[in-house]
Amino acid sequence: AKRQGKGRICVYTSDMTDTVRTRLNLEQGLHHALERQELELYYQPVFSMANERLSGFEALIRWNHPVSGVLLPDQFIRIAEESGQIQSIGSWVLDTALQQLSQWTEATGTALVMAVNVSPKQFLQDDFLASVELALRRWQVPAHQLEIEITESVLQDFQRSRGIVSGLRELGVSVAIDDFGTGYSSLALLKHLPVSRIKIDRSFILALPGNARDHGLVSVMLKMAGSLELEVTAEGVETWQQAAVLQQLGCSAAQGFYYGQPAPTATALHDAICRHDR
């Protein structure tokens, strides 16, 4: 309750919409989420299309909320960005993903690649490059086993983004444009930033193979990537028909429920390897 002028008392929360209340709760809860170890990374396998082999994983954050259960990133990443908590969450993600990668690399004897999503705020931070170098060294992960995923929102400061992308590439780290084809500046990103991969957004894959227009768009994106010597991952592959078309079109990597759901550490590697064996 909050005291207002003229001795009026109003119950503050009754004036708030549910969304505002939820937001406040989440923002406060997020403060403790890290220290209380409520954040967790799930890992979704990425497969090479040429040999149907596991090539790596994408780390996807979850929040095991004490009251609401498992929250998806869409429910709290935005809040973390706006409240400035994304920096510390982001470095936790990088560190945890690389630690996991070093374990899996040792367990499999394979140089799997770990893809990590990075918020523009975190990416544009002064010490981002240094923190990547530090995390790689800390877990003794070769730079080429790390891929940083960015979205077109980094274009808000493209001079700086270019410097950071170049710096990552000089270290040997791959940089992928996430959700490629959505938004208005996918091509501007390619023009300005020396990235190594595009991830074709799920919305283009969804209606394959039936939709001729989407088929045409995906085919053009793959040709363009080929002539720019970019690697490609197709996202959101859910059926073998979609996988078959993508393979036919020469797509080199794919990810999606057809290949495997995001899964916690305990099962992710096992699931991915069993998928491969079946």
Q: Contact positions toward ligand C2E, by CB under 6 A?
A: 44, 60-61, 72-74, 77, 93, 117-119, 178-179, 202, 236-238, 256-257, 262
Write the interaction track for Ca ion spanning residues 37-66; mark x where CB under 5 A is met and - where it is not.
------------------------------
- Alpha-carbon distance 117 to 79, whole Å? 16
Cβ-based nearer residue to Ca ion, 46 or 141: 46
Residue 25: CB minimum distance to Ca ion, A: 24
CA distances from 38 to 34, 61, 82, 272 (A): 6, 11, 20, 25
Q: Which does 44 bind (CB under 5 to 8 A by kind): Ca ion, ligand C2E, none?
A: ligand C2E
Residue 124: CB minimum distance to Ca ion, A: 18
Our finding on whether 147 is near Ca ion (CB under 5 A) is no
Cβ-based nearer residue to Ca ion, 29 or 174: 174
Q: Which does 152 bind (CB under 5 to 8 A by kind): Ca ion, ligand C2E, none?
A: none
Residue 118: CB minimum distance to ligand C2E, A: 6
- Alpha-carbon distance 251 to 248, whole Å? 8
**Tokens at residue 250, please?**
């020469």
Q: Which residues contact residue 98 at a Cβ distance below 8 angstroms, ignoring those fewer than 6 apart?
A: 114, 135, 136, 138, 139, 141, 146
Closest Cα to residue 246, out of 208, 197, 276? 208
Contact 150, 173 (CB under 8 A): no
**Tokens at residue 49, please?**
């299309």
**Tokens at residue 71, please?**
């929250």
Contact 154, 120 (CB under 8 A): yes
Residue 237: CB minimum distance to ligand C2E, A: 6
Greatest Cα-to-Cα distance within the chain, rounded to the nearest angstrom: 75
Cβ-based nearer residue to ligand C2E, 72 or 187: 72
167 burial level (CB within 10 Å; 0-12, 13-18, 19+) = middle
Q: Which does 12 bind (CB under 5 to 8 A by kind): ligand C2E, Ca ion, none?
A: none
- Choosing from 81, 147, 149, 271, the residue that interacts with Ca ion (CB under 5 A) is 149
Cβ-based nearer residue to ligand C2E, 60 or 112: 60
- Choosing from 85, 91, 117, 186, the residue that interacts with Ca ion (CB under 5 A) is 117
- Alpha-carbon distance 226 to 102, whole Å? 31
Residue 145: CB minimum distance to ligand C2E, A: 17
Residue 6: CB minimum distance to Ca ion, A: 49
Question: Angle at which helices 265-277 and 86-108 pack, to 10 degrees?
Answer: 50
Near Ca ion in 190-249, by CB under 5 A: 235
Cβ-based nearer residue to ligand C2E, 73 or 167: 73
Q: Which residues of this protein are in contact with Ca ion, per CB under 5 A?
A: 117, 149, 178-179, 235
